[in-house]
Chain A
Amino acid sequence: MSDAVIDVQGLTKSFGDKRVVDDVSLRVGKGQIYGFLGPNGSGKTTTLRMLCGLLTPDAGSGSCLGYDIRRQAAEIKRRTGYMTQRFSLYEDLTIRENLSFVARLYALDRLNARVDAALEQLGLTSRQKQLAGQLSGGWKQRLALAACILHEPELLLLDEPTAGVDPKARRDFWDQIHALAGAGLTVLVSTHYMDEAERCHEILYIAYGRLIAKGTIKDVIATHNLATWSVEGPNLHLLSRELQQLPGVDTVAAFGTILHVCGHDEASLEKSIAPYRQRPELHWERSSPSLEDIFIQLMSGLDTNGLAAKR
């Protein structure tokens, strides 16, 4: 038995003849926050659902919290909090009624005390009589989080918990996640936000159902060995289009008034941009790639094969 909280090998799932999750293997250590990244439709939700027994994998095996994901789904559910991508509590129940419902489903003792504590902890006490359906996105998300930590799970699976939530609420949410992880909870959270990815201990990147990068952010950036230059100046839009045509330039992405120019073949990239570096109106600077650069690269699909081989 390993000390990993999640340890699965070769998870595969198809809908019809479409392979949505393809041979995914994961190891997730205790007390860590894992960011689960990847473009829309890459199979994040499907993977999370397989981990908590909501979907049966076509192939692959493994354990969650030491329980077999195929045969012991009930045990896993009892010890896991799963926050669905779409709000899935009852909109026609009040906040308090929703929490009480969940507490009863887990057959928790001291029901009222626990619900009170959860309301207090998330700052929902004054709103407890409000219908869940009338809450804004940020409050719904707090409620959903409260509902999935009510039974003191050992593992949290959060599916895009902060989608459509304002920055302040997102920050509060992440502070909370870190507090929970500090208390020993393991968290696997899917997200599209780079700043959130950077708040994770490790990240997993999935595309077209295949896990193509994993590790700490530093590791991921280092292994991809992406040469990056940033450039400032006028008419960036036109410049961007020109640069994109050049050999050795894999991606060009605008960040406000700065362009990031990246390529995995450093020599070729430098050769291509050399003429542009002579232009007086442009200000070039060698920079280190951000996680976002890596992901844009990964998403653009240029490097998929190479990475798959490196894995």
Chain B
Amino acid sequence: MTLFSFSRFWAILVKEFIQMRRDRLTFGMMMGVPLLQLLLFGYAINTDPKHLPAVAVVAENSAFARSLLRAMENTGYIRFIGAPVSEATADLMIRRGEVQFAVHIPPHFAEDIVRGKQPALLVEADATDPVATGNAVAALQGLDTMALIHDLKGPLADLQKDGAPFEVRLHKRYNAEGITQYNIVPGLMGVVLTMTMVMMTSLAVTRERERGTMENLLAMPVLPMEVMLGKILPYIVVGYVQVAIIVVAARYLFMVPLMGSLPLLSLAAIIFIAANLAVGFTFSTMATNQLQAMQMSVFFFLPSLLLSGFMFPFRGMPVWAQVIGEVLPLTHFLRIVRGILLKGNGWADIWPDMWPVITFLLLAAALAMIRYRRTLD
């Protein structure tokens, strides 16, 4: 009796296989999740992003300036989007995250070089994400000796002899010391909310179905909207508690500077939370048991985590991955939170990332309402 029985072991084994095969969705997810990971890690992720967007502010349009900008692009790390702009515009573009770098060519640049005065070239970097800018910064700093090598020939060749003809002065904005926590901790707010909100709501409705309480609920005069709001609201409260915990921890444990308005952050957070809850609610209308609901949540969470720019630099990803990333609410929320907390952004600055979240919320909520059944058919 106490000996290992092959027959008994076999009985369990066969039963497990049968049950695995019956639950098609779970089986599909078991195959789908590794495949998704393989694709995302294998093709989408790149920790050495190239061609980062930049603008130039050109006070003096000389031949030196032009070859310098060209040399910068030739490093492969930056790419100038459009023509040179004014100081004010460059500042706005950096704040809104439209560019990663702003290169300032000072007045009298050519003249000062020729006179051997070693003028300073100012490169401003949005350093909220130290990983994204790290390699580009190093490449730009190496430019001082090499960039003008072809321009300084003949009588000017002497200028190269005693050191670099100009100096690259780097100004890292928002996170001067390159502290990764500054970037990670605010981002975590979005990640934690995505994970818990989607999972909790997807389980909340599926649980009713799995336990059979759905039949009783449907037999009573309650509208889908009432069920949806009643189920979602408690989780919004939970989400807010999470936001509060992370903000307090960011401020007092990780010493992240809080530059922007907390009410604005709360407003953005509620829209983001609602968007995730609507996704969870939609999942719960599709899943037949809690395991399936969990797996669907993972299937949503994984790309959110990997393609949003939380774990890996967004601009390092190939275009297809960026397109998917742009659809996900987390991508935009990360930019919003980092913008508000680290850059002190206001409503006008976050709007470009706010409307995609609102659109996502409306679509997900509509889908959830369409999928929610008032009957057992």
Q: Which residues of A contact B (CB under 8 A)?
A: 49, 52-56, 73-74, 77-78, 80, 82, 84, 86-91, 102, 105-106, 147
Contact = CB atoms under 8 A, between A and B. Distances in A.
A19 B377 CA distance: 14
B221 interface: yes
A176 B212 CA distance: 26
B211 A91 contact: yes
A84 B219 contact: yes
Contacts of B374: 73
B220 A89 contact: no
Given A80-B219, A106-B221, 16 more contacts: A53-B219, A54-B218, A54-B375, A54-B376, A55-B375, A55-B377, A56-B375, A74-B221, A78-B221, A82-B216, A88-B212, A89-B213, A89-B216, A90-B213, A105-B221, A106-B220
Nearest to B218: A54
Interface of B: 211-216, 218-222, 374-377
The DSSP consensus for interface residues of chain B is loop
Contacts, number: 47
Given A54-B376, A88-B213, A90-B213, A105 B219 contact: no
B26 to A, nearest CB: 22
Contact of A105 (B211, B212, B214, B220): B220
Interchain residue pairs A-B with the least CB separation, the first 9 = A88-B216, A82-B219, A77-B221, A78-B221, A88-B212, A86-B212, A105-B220, A88-B213, A84-B215
Given A54-B375, A56-B375, A56-B377, A88 B215 contact: yes
12 contacts: A52-B219, A54-B218, A54-B219, A55-B375, A73-B374, A77-B219, A82-B216, A82-B219, A88-B211, A102-B220, A105-B222, A106-B221
Contact of A55 (B213, B216, B221, B376): B376
Contacts of A52: 219
Contacts of B376: 49, 54-55
A59 B246 CA distance: 56
B59 to A, nearest CB: 70
Contacts of B375: 53-56
Nearest to A58: B377
Nearest to B213: A88
Contacts of B216: 82, 84, 88-89, 147
A311 B212 CA distance: 36
Which of B213, B214, B219, B221 has the most chain A CB atoms closer than 10 A to its own CB?
B219
Contacts of A55: 375-377
Contacts of A88: 211-216
Contacts of B377: 55-56
Nearest to A84: B215
A77 B220 contact: yes
A302 to B, nearest CB: 34
B13 to A, nearest CB: 31
A191 B376 CA distance: 22
Contacts of A105: 220-222
A80 B214 CA distance: 17
A49 B214 CA distance: 13
A105 B375 CA distance: 17
Contacts of A54: 215, 218-219, 375-376
Contacts of A56: 375, 377
Nearest to B226: A105
B159 to A, nearest CB: 80
B223 to A, nearest CB: 8
Contacts of A91: 211
Contacts of B221: 74, 77-78, 105-106
Contacts of B222: 105
Contacts of B219: 52-54, 77, 80, 82, 84
A30 B214 CA distance: 29
